[in-house]
Amino acid sequence: MSRDQGPRVGVLALQGDFREHGVTLKAIGAQPIFVRTPVELDLVEALIIPGGESTTIGKLATRFGLIDPLIERIEAGMPTWGTCAGMILLAKEVVGPEQPLLRCLDIVVERNAFGRQNDSFETDLDIEGLDEPFRAVFIRAPWVVKVGDGVEVLATVDGHPVMVEDRHLMATSFHPELTGDSRLHQRLVDLVE
């Protein structure tokens, strides 16, 4: 793949809404690569860990030998963004049952904090650094209960952090890929040097 076609942005494609991220990435000129193996991970310059079922994604990442390669690439500075379940996987700690975690982002997350599927909602969210509100879709969404040193809170709902950033890492409780608004995808692409 030629680099002149835009940055190669991986989307972890084990389970969840990875295809929607791919569509948005292509629309902004990036090259989406669906990542299911360590070899595919080696091809990318940035990564999105999508929403879905965090326990299932974690177990499949373990089964496919991706946990250690993901941690190595993220800790080496690869721009990475976790959305919903992806936020959970990036977290140092999760409130609730044990599950595989990457533990790369110094946050504590509570799963399904906003409630079950029928408690899903949309809201216009003020995000630091964006001029206009972002229409955010929350589906069985987590929230951040604790942030570590260096982690910046960029958006909250009812006082609960729902978007955080730490250098090359971003995490959102919501699903930007479902809105048609590509500003956060562009923010990740802009982190690729």
Where in the sequence numbering do the catalytic residues fall? 84, 175, 177
- Adjacent-strand bridge partners of 10: 33, 47
Question: Quick check: 107 and 148 in contact, CB under 8 A?
Answer: yes
C-alpha distances out from residue 58 to 16, 137, 180, Å: 12, 23, 27
Rounded Cα gap, residues 34 and 80, in angstroms: 14
Rounded Cα gap, residues 82 and 49, in angstroms: 5
Secondary structure of 65-96 as H, E, C letters: CCHHHHHHHHHCCCCEEEECHHHHHHEEEEEC
Rounded Cα gap, residues 183 and 25, in angstroms: 11
Using a 10 angstrom Cβ sphere, with 0-12 exposed, 13-18 middle and 19 or more buried, the burial of residue 128 is: exposed
